[in-house]
Amino acid sequence: MICYVDIEHEKVLQDPEKRSAHLARCMEVKLRLEETSGQACLVQRYWRVTRQRLGEWGVRALIISGNETDWAEYGEADRSAGGSRRSLAEMCRIIRSAELPIIGFCGGCQLIAMAHGAPLGPMRRLEEGEDDPHPDVAPGYFKEWGFTPVRVLQSDPLFDGLGEEPMLWEEHYWEVKEVPPAFEVLASTDACRIQAIRHAGKLVYGVQFHPERYTQEHADGRKLLINFFKVAGSLG
């Protein structure tokens, strides 16, 4: 059993249109994780996940989703979810203890970095006259969006068989600003220096991109997921 932790803010699920799209995306990711791992995948909201429950559920690896909501909004307004500050604190404890193999996608990578004390923030503001292909998302800020070559900086089993610049889906305007203590940078792009990190002593990965968003034409994300489950010892 593997567990996909959905860290999206409760307000997204309270919007009927966004809720439908979000749940459909979660189901798609669940099926892809099951296909690449050979394991059943349990999908859980972040505020339901505790170390005790992970043990009771028999989880062998933890996958942390991305999110579209800015981190500043995870606070008192999310009490309907059971109190997000307490819940994020528990997720951070789970990340720091790393009793299971962990990988975080996009916002999940940022949560891993944040749990270890690293600062986060927008990549940069757009320069005057610079095109904004997605003005409906964080207008005025630079974004990485779409399939993008990600430069592998050092050998790691996560990138086995993917060459020097795998094509991976990006969809973000925030980034990890500094490498967390005890982590090393595995991959980068010109726009975002910290694209993939790994803890030096524990099986914890964070990737700023979305490996789960692969296509038949751009299938490097699928290979990366298989590599993670091999490293995690959780291939079925």
109 is catalytic: no
Q: Which of 106, 172, 175, 192 is catalytic?
A: 106
210 is catalytic: yes
Sign of CA dihedral 194, 116, 50, 22: negative
| Alpha carbon distance 164, 155 (integer Å) | 10
| Alpha carbon distance 236, 229 (integer Å) | 9
Beta-carbon contacts of 199 under 8 Å, excluding residues fewer than 6 positions away, are 98, 182, 183, 205
184 is catalytic: no
Q: Alpha helices of the chain — where are they, by DSSP H?
A: 10-14, 16-37, 51-57, 84-97, 107-115, 220-232
| Alpha carbon distance 8, 138 (integer Å) | 17
Angle subtended at Cα 116 by Cα 123 and Cα 112, rounded to the nearest 5 degrees: 65
Which residues are bridge partners to 78 per DSSP?
A: none
Kindly list the catalytic residues. Answer: 106, 210, 212
